[in-house]
Chains A and B, each alone.
Chain A
Amino acid sequence: MADLETFRSETRAWLEANCPAEMREPVRDESDIYWGGRRATFKNDAQKAWLEACVAKGYTVPAWPKAYGGAGLSPAEAKVLREEMGRIGARPPLSSFGIWMLGPALLHFGTEGQKQRFLNEIARGEIRWCQGYSEPGSGSDLVSLQTFGEDKGDHWVVNGQKVWTSYADHADWIFCLVRTDKADKYSGITFMLFDMASEGVATKPILLISGNSPFCETFFDNVEVPKSYGEDCPAYVGQINRGWDVAKYLLGHEREMISGADGGDRTAGIGAAMKRHSAKLGDDLDPVLRAELAMFDVDALAYTAMGEKFLDEIKVGKAHPAQPNMMKYAGTELNKRRHELMMAVGGSRSLEWDSEETEGGKPSRSWLRTKANSIEGGTSEVMLNVIAKRILDLPGA
């Protein structure tokens, strides 16, 4: 415990010395988030300095081993770092699907050579990854995916199409589920890694109801994927034809992430802020709306406790393995409700699509964006199926 307090005071001093003031301001829009990658540019010097300081310290991925670019922090130390960053409002120095998704998969399934190469690249923010999972005919029923890699000895030739590939048009590399055995549905998928600059890869952004395009369609037309990138560094994670195991493991992480269980302001009550917002617009909260906000806050604050409990239990292996599905279901449904209420409080002002006052239609675009929460990463209905089968053990589920 004393060690942890020492770590806390050291961390506090380090943050004080290294986190620039601009990086302690709340994230206002996409340009405030640094995603890294070959084509990334810094918005300002502060963003660059903050990233470099964190890379040097291993704080872009604090819980990863030092050999792979992390700081090797224990869960308790990582929590202290999160708390201390939260205390001064420090932004994450680097956001990436490499950190959130591929990294955990490689830590669990990767070879030493893969970890040395890819994890260090991710930790330094050098390569931006995207995830190739869903296909036009394979959404909730992901395992039916058809993108096919034909075995050509030392390489595959990949043909097919992915959809809902987040930021594929900005990504350098893709981790991609590819069918390599048409005869076996579950044991015929390989979890491949390849360069988006490969010949035959094309991306096309999808315009969403929010007016934004965070997702792409991704096309593979005779893309050659080598089976190896050098000694002990295969181009696939886990084993050939066993990529579904990796995908399932990763979906757990994704569901956890989307659920908001890791904290942040998304899980807190909103009523007090909505009252202030309403007053700023010259309005009073309608009593019925206030009542709905109160009921929402009860659910939101209870869910925050659940998130805390869930993370505590995960640390010691007490959580039910299917519990992330419950967290994802409850968290995303709650977030949709949150934005419905925020729109109601904002009234006609929140309808504005591109006004300066709304920072380019932020309320309405965010509201529309949340509708995807209960679809992406497994729909609410799929989550309920999984709970029924794996937790409640209901028949035929």
Chain B
Amino acid sequence: MPLYHNEDQAMLADTARGFIAEEGNIAKQLRHWRDRNCKDGFGHGLWKQMAEMGFTGMLVEEADGGLGMGHVEAGIVLEEIGRNLTPSPFLTSSVLAATALKHSSADMKGRYLPGLIAGDSVFAVAIDETAKHRPSRITTRAEKSGNGFKLNGAKSFVIHGGSADMIVVAARTSGGDEDADGITLFAVPKDVAGASHDHVRLVDSSMATHMRLDNVELDGDAVIGEIDGGRAVLDAMLLAGRVGAAAEGVGVARGAMDMTVDYLKQRKQFGKLIGEFQALQHRASHLYSEVEIARAATIKAQQLLDAGAPSADLMASVAKAKVAKTARLAVQEGVQMHGGIGMTDEYDIGLYMKRDRALAEFLGDAYFHANRVATLSGY
């Protein structure tokens, strides 16, 4: 498969770009909700609009009412979300939770997928337990209790945890904290007794929670996939989520780069456009080169994932790490080249810097994924 978008994908990209630039732009969404101290950190109206565009259920199979598209297509939407810093539950709902629900029973699909596809429901995932992403270690416990389970533990960095109608929780049903086996995934509904949230606003104005599970009782039908065999579903979610986060990161990097290159063509100092200075030209050219490479790695990972290739796992970590490094470069160069106004809240470039910081941390940063590349490569 050639590593560029086919005609349908190019058309989707045009549509997504136009729609998100119009409806999801920084003034209309990120600043609007931030400046109103919105408790959810995003607009439900836009989420509903995204459903009307067909985005929310794009990864859901046609038989289940979705569009049955792949991660290349989801990545196209995510790149535009990244470019516009659009706050939305797309990544956690339409990518992560949608991937988990692929492995769920027909009954559970019926319970949650219509709300996802319609843009009426929001979903979150609760994986991390410490400040760094470390999914190999799951200490949250789920013990058999009657017909169901009783969950105890604590989760962090639950993005949209406060507004989610359902949270996919990874818990341990057997084995030690570091065991690969013995994980079970649960669909934990909003407002279930024993679940509580500490709401935290993050640096990029997104909302997350520290989630506590104190004797949360769930029926057996809350299990996603197999009991004790949740690792396979969790891995599939992580894979999809990382490739999706990489695509969003490419959008952040491109948005910051484009804004900065435009600025180099407008700002005058010493009687010249600052873009005439070779010191800045070379840095901009280097950044362009890195962004192109990061984008290629991301599209490669999307295609491998859609093809079901085993190498998708390695390439996903390559893409996540490469994008994290590249978006970091883009926002740092962006703020520096904007000079003083780059430090002001009024100017958007700083918002890119904040978003990159939070997005890179989500599902593993550049260090985590470079380490993973080494491990998967056998060293």
Contact = CB atoms under 8 A, between A and B. Distances in A.
A306 B377 contact: no
A271 B275 CA distance: 39
B378 A272 contact: yes
Main secondary structure, interface of A, reads: helix
Contact of B370 (A295, A310, A392, A395): A295
A306 B296 contact: yes
Contacts of B276: 394-397
A271 B374 contact: yes
Contacts of B286: 329, 384
Given A316-B2, A384-B286, A302 B374 contact: no
Interface in A282-314: 285, 290-291, 293-295, 297-299, 301-303, 305-306, 308-310, 312-313
A381 interface: yes
9 contacts: A269-B377, A299-B322, A308-B300, A309-B296, A326-B285, A384-B282, A385-B278, A394-B284, A395-B276
Interface in B328-379: 366, 369-371, 373-374, 377-379
A299 B321 CA distance: 9
Interface in A72-112: none
A298 B370 contact: yes
B315 interface: yes
B300 A309 contact: yes
10 closest A-B pairs by beta carbon, nearest first, are A302-B297, A396-B276, A309-B3, A387-B285, A275-B379, A388-B281, A305-B300, A294-B374, A306-B296, A312-B2
A297 B4 contact: no
A318 B3 CA distance: 11
A394 B296 contact: no
A396 B282 contact: no
Interface residues of A, number: 44
Given A302-B296, A302-B319, A397-B276, A387 B289 contact: yes
Nearest to A388: B281
A274 interface: yes
Contact of B369 (A298, A391, A394, A396): A298
Interface of B: 2-4, 261, 264-265, 272-273, 275-276, 278, 281-282, 284-286, 288-290, 292-294, 296-297, 299-300, 314-315, 317-319, 321-322, 325, 366, 369-371, 373-374, 377-379
Contacts of B296: 302, 305-306, 308-310
A394 B297 contact: no
Contact of A305 (B264, B315, B379): B315
Interface in A374-393: 381, 383-385, 387-388, 391-393
A330 interface: yes
A293 B278 CA distance: 31
Contact of B379 (A293, A299, A318): A293
A295 B278 CA distance: 28
B299 A309 contact: yes
Contacts of A318: 4
B342 to A, nearest CB: 18
B370 A302 contact: no
B297 A326 contact: no
B253 to A, nearest CB: 13
A305 to B, nearest CB: 4
A245 to B, nearest CB: 24
A330 B273 CA distance: 27
Given A308-B300, A329-B286, A396-B275, 18 more contacts: A271-B379, A275-B378, A285-B379, A298-B325, A302-B294, A302-B318, A305-B300, A306-B292, A306-B296, A306-B297, A323-B292, A329-B289, A330-B289, A388-B285, A394-B275, A394-B281, A395-B276, A396-B273
B288 A392 contact: yes
Contacts of B370: 291, 294-295, 297-298
A394 B277 CA distance: 9
Interface in A252-283: 269, 271-272, 274-275
Nearest to A330: B289
A253 to B, nearest CB: 19
B3 A305 contact: yes
Contacts of B314: 301
Contacts of B322: 298-299, 302
Nearest to A273: B379
A344 to B, nearest CB: 14
B328 to A, nearest CB: 13
Contacts of A303: 293
Contacts of A294: 370-371, 373-374
In this complex, the member of B273, B289, B321 whose beta carbon has the largest number of chain A beta carbons within 10 angstroms is B289
A397 B318 contact: no
Nearest to B283: A384
Contacts of A329: 285-286, 289
B297 A305 contact: yes
Interface in A93-144: none
Contacts of B282: 381, 384-385, 388
A387 B257 CA distance: 14
A391 B286 CA distance: 12
Contacts of A291: 370-371
A397 B297 contact: no
Interface string A313-349: 1011010000100100110000000000000000000
A55 B320 CA distance: 45
B365 to A, nearest CB: 12
B58 to A, nearest CB: 23
A310 B3 CA distance: 8
A99 B319 CA distance: 35
Nearest to B319: A302
B284 A392 contact: yes
Contacts of A274: 379
B354 to A, nearest CB: 24
A285 B276 CA distance: 45
A367 to B, nearest CB: 21
In this complex, the member of B285, B315, B374 whose beta carbon has the largest number of chain A beta carbons within 10 angstroms is B285
A156 to B, nearest CB: 38
B6 to A, nearest CB: 11
Contact of B264 (A285, A293, A306, A394): A394
A334 to B, nearest CB: 10
B370 to A, nearest CB: 4
Contact of A298 (B2, B261, B321): B321
A295 B276 CA distance: 33
A396 B377 contact: no
A385 B373 contact: no
In this complex, the member of B294, B297, B378 whose beta carbon has the largest number of chain A beta carbons within 10 angstroms is B297
Contact of A306 (B2, B265, B288, B293): B293
B3 A312 contact: yes
Contacts of A308: 3, 296, 300
